[in-house]
Amino acid sequence: MLLSVCMIARNEASRIAAALESVAWADERIVLDCGSQDTTADIAAACGARVYRAEHTPNLNVNKNRCLRLACGEWILLLDADERVSPQLAAEIQERISGAPREQAFWIPRRNWYFGHPLRYGRQYPDYQLRLFRRGAAYFPERHIHEYPTVHGAVGYLHTPLEHFPYETLSHYLQKLDRDTDFQARWLQQRYGAISLGKFFRHGLWRAAKRFIERYIIWGGFRDGFAGFWAAWLDGVNTFVTLAKWWHLSQYEHGYALSETNSLLR
């Protein structure tokens, strides 16, 4: 068996079929359903994927590693439910891995679509992702949600982009914002302890302003029009929501329970 496609998914009933259909050419497709409360697992099974179940974990890399261990193919393509593999990318993948390459993994350029608009500037493209690797040659560190896999051996590059549709609507963005900022706030609390004014400026205000200036002005995000503006601006929103949640966690550390706060409001 040459290629396995691995995917972890949670409550992706509206998108998982399109993702799996874009890799129908693979030798096997594996979906690890992580505590979905919708029909994600049923839809994946109907598409012909092998479906397994696991509990949801805030650090997605834990379940990514579990999913990788279920694969049987010589090569693994890791795909998210909001990503699509074009016929052109499929042809490039098949050509590269069938030729006994010396590389153990490949970076794939990713094109991000923001509310229906492809982003070309602001360092949003090519957004290289390390997603194709030999089975057993890569694993994900389980320290932070955004870590790249660690690869043992040479790494090459593909040229055809992977299409990424992370935010279909603003409501969808806000749902993902809540999930991602929960994890980020807990990570900051564990690493740096309770928030302080200095930490607020160092990890929040300065970082948000710097990211916006870089993405929108220095790296040319303004050339993507309103989509480029919102991509850069909402990056800052993500940072400030994370800080608010970090502050909330810090209150717990100092003994201010939420139930006590609610009692004052009654």
Last residue of a domain, one of 151, 166, 181: 166
Tokens 């396995």 appear where? 4
Looking at the structure, do residues 135 and 183 belong to the same domain, yes or no? no
Average of pLDDT values for 229-245? 86
* Residue-level pLDDT at 53: 96
SS (H, E, C) the chain: CCEEEEEEECCCCCCHHHHHHCCCCCCEEEEEEECCCCCHHHHHHHCCCEEEEECCCCCHHHHHHHHHCCCCCCEEEECCCCEECCHHHHHHHHHHHCCCCCCCEEEECEEEEECCEECCCCCCCCCCEEEEEECCCEECCCCCCCCCCEECCCEEECCCCEEEEEECCHHHHHHHHHHHHHHHHHHHHHHHCCCCHHHHHHHHHHHHHHHHHHHHHHCCHHHHHHHHHHHHHHHHHHHHHHHHHHHHHHHHHCCCCHHHHHHHHC
Strand order in the sheet with 162-167: 83-84, 162-167, 110-114, 117-118
At 134-175, the pLDDT tens digits run: 999 999 988 766 678 999 999 999 999 999 998 877 887 888
pLDDT exceeding 70 applies to what percent of the chain? 93
Task: Name, in order, each residue with C-beta under 8 angstroms of 14's C-beta and a sequence gap of 6 or more.
Answer: none
Whether the CB-CB separation of 25 and 1 falls below 8 Å is answered with no
Domain containing residue 201: 169-265
Last residue of a domain, one of 118, 148, 166: 166
Looking at the structure, do residues 70 and 107 belong to the same domain, yes or no? yes
Task: Name, in order, each residue with C-beta under 8 angstroms of 114's C-beta and a sequence gap of 6 or more.
Answer: 124, 166, 167, 224, 227, 228, 230, 231
Looking at the structure, do residues 13 and 32 belong to the same domain, yes or no? yes
At 1-44, the pLDDT tens digits run: 899 999 999 999 999 999 999 999 999 999 999 999 999 999 99
* Residue-level pLDDT at 188: 83
pLDDT band at 266 (very low <50, low <70, confident <90, very high): very low
Looking at the structure, do residues 129 and 181 belong to the same domain, yes or no? no
- The number of folded domains in the chain is 2
Last residue of a domain, one of 149, 166, 183: 166
pLDDT band at 86 (very low <50, low <70, confident <90, very high): very high
pLDDT band at 79 (very low <50, low <70, confident <90, very high): very high
* Residue-level pLDDT at 208: 81
Letter for the amino acid at 92? E
Tokens 């795909």 appear where? 79
- The whole model's pTM is what? 0.83
* Residue-level pLDDT at 74: 97
* Residue-level pLDDT at 187: 79
* Residue-level pLDDT at 183: 78
At 110-131, the pLDDT tens digits run: 999 988 899 999 999 999 999 9
pLDDT at residue 255 is higher than 60: no
Query: 204: buried, middle or exposed (CB in 10 Å: 19+, 13-18, 0-12)?
Result: buried
CATH number of the domain within which 19 lies: 3.90.550.10
